[in-house]
């Protein structure tokens, strides 16, 4: 680690540019080889520089979750954005979306006739995709009911382009292939339910980072992975991203050896508090695979060292892998970009906090 990195106050987020590029290139090639459009979810990085690199590597557009995220990336020059969310469009959001639609091709998610009518009232003729629940049980309609929502949307004058789902239940051990099969089945059923009404779905969109390796390219036309750019401890533990492909870590300092543990200054305000029941801790150390963040407070990560090797001295800097990288990035203002251990750039997390 060079002096600039050693002097910068911890905790901060470090991105290995070489690993990032490998990840971007590999996913772009994966999609291209299967005839799928890659539309990465920008919620993971929230960073115009990374969006630009994704587009340059062959992405066909971006996915976002909020109007504020869409504004950030359209401002940065992205011309095709899908808001994969059942937005409730009121007068204010409607005005912002109309302004955006003059500068970029927008597609919105809907999962109800009421939602469709609200979109149509403020954004006449908007492109929409109907959201389908493929088993994650969050938002989206049952696949059989997709036609009903599409029909209501068509009757309000919306341009129904197809269907989408988020197979989020792929974030669980051993579930990836099964969930990809459920995703394909749900999307095929939904697409058929539109076809029956004479609405030909041009877009059949799915794909999460854990499930994308098993995606059914016979059904889907588009994938929307997000986490693949950086990886995180969840993906490491699921076996969907190997540790050598983890591009983002939180650089942290050892501040205490209380009770024979390593206590780091990367708490939940730096790496996020996500801890699904199947994970082995609140995060991991990239260079010490046996170690686990076993307890997390706002500014303390208590690490079980799990090794006969001596504890790193107080003041040592270690690379922490957050459990859920999307929430870790949303806590930071900047990403510190390194190549070969040297700081080469600092990129803004331009859409941090862009929740509205």
Which residues contact its own copies by CB under 8 A?
A: 7, 9-12, 43, 65-68, 85-88, 90-93, 111-112, 114-115, 118, 133, 137-141, 168, 253-259, 263, 265, 267-270, 272-275, 295, 297-300, 302, 313-315, 324, 326-327, 330-333, 353, 355-356
Identify the three-state secondary structure at position 109. strand
Q: Least Å distance between CB 221 and its own copies?
A: 23
Q: Least Å distance between CB 197 and its own copies?
A: 21
Residue 158's contacts (CB-CB under 8 Å, 6 or more residues apart) are 110, 116, 119, 120, 125, 126, 127, 128
DSSP string, 275-332: --TTSSSSEEETTEEEEEEEEE-SS-EEEE--SSSPPPPTT-EEEEEES-HHHHHTT-
Nearer to its own copies (CB atom), residue 78 or residue 332:
332
Nearer to its own copies (CB atom), residue 277 or residue 340:
277
Nearer to its own copies (CB atom), residue 7 or residue 244:
7
179: left (phi over 0), alpha (psi -120 to 50) or beta: alpha
Nearer to its own copies (CB atom), residue 263 or residue 338:
263
Per DSSP (E only), the strands in 88-201 are: 105-110, 127-132, 159-165
Q: Least Å distance between CB 187 and its own copies?
A: 16
Q: Least Å distance between CB 244 and its own copies?
A: 26
- Distance of alpha carbon 110 from alpha carbon 25, whole angstroms: 31
Q: Least Å distance between CB 174 and its own copies?
A: 20
Nearer to its own copies (CB atom), residue 95 or residue 202:
95
Nearer to its own copies (CB atom), residue 86 or residue 281:
86
Nearer to its own copies (CB atom), residue 57 or residue 65:
65
Q: Least Å distance between CB 17 and its own copies?
A: 23
101: left (phi over 0), alpha (psi -120 to 50) or beta: alpha
Q: Least Å distance between CB 13 and its own copies?
A: 10
What the block records as the tokens of 234 is 């969840």
Nearer to its own copies (CB atom), residue 218 or residue 260:
260
Helices 91-101 and 67-75: angle between axes, nearest 10 degrees: 20
Residue 320 φ/ψ, nearest 5 degrees: -95, 135
**Is 205 in contact with 221 (CB distance < 8 Å)?**
yes
Q: Least Å distance between CB 138 and its own copies?
A: 5
Angle at the Cα of 41 (from 37 to 47), degrees rounded to 5? Answer: 120
Q: Residue 252: beta bridge partners? A: 318
């Amino acid at each position: 680690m060079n002096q600039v990195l050693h002097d910068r106050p911890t905790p901060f987020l470090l991105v290995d540019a070489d690993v990032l590029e490998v990840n971007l290139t590999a996913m772009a090639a994966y999609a291209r080889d299967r005839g799928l459009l890659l539309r990465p979810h920008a919620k993971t990085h929230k960073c115009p520089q990374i969006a630009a690199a994704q587009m340059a590597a062959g992405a066909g557009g971006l996915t976002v979750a909020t109007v504020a995220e869409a504004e950030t990336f359209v401002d940065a020059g992205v011309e095709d954005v899908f808001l994969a969310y059942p937005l409730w469009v009121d007068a204010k959001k409607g005005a912002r979306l109309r302004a955006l639609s003059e500068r970029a091709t927008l597609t919105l998610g809907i999962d109800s006739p009421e939602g469709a009518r609200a979109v149509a009232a403020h954004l006449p003729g908007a492109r929409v995709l109907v959201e389908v629940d493929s088993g994650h049980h969050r938002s989206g309609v049952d696949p059989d009911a997709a036609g009903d929502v599409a029909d209501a949307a068509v009757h309000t004058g919306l341009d129904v382009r197809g269907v989408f789902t988020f197979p989020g239940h792929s974030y669980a051990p051993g579930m990836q292939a099964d969930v990809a099969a459920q995703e394909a089945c749900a999307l095929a059923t939904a697409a058929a339910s539109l076809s029956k009404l004479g609405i030909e779905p041009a877009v059949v969109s799915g794909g999460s980072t854990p499930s994308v390796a098993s995606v059914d390219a016979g059904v889907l036309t588009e994938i929307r992975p997000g986490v693949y750019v950086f990886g995180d401890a969840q993906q490491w533990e699921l076996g969907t991203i190997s540790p050598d492909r983890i591009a983002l870590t939180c650089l942290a300092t050892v501040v205490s050896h209380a009770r024979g543990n390593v206590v780091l200054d990367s708490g939940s305000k730096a790496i996020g508090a996500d801890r699904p029941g199947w994970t082995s801790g609140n995060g991991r150390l990239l260079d010490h695979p046996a170690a686990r963040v076993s307890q997390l407070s706002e500014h303390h990560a208590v690490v079980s060292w799990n090794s006969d090797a001596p504890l790193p001295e107080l003041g040592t800097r270690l690379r922490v892998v957050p459990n859920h990288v999307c929430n870790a990035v949303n806590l930071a203002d900047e990403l510190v970009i390194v190549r070969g251990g040297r700081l080469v750039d600092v990129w803004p997390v331009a859409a941090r906090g862009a929740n509205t």
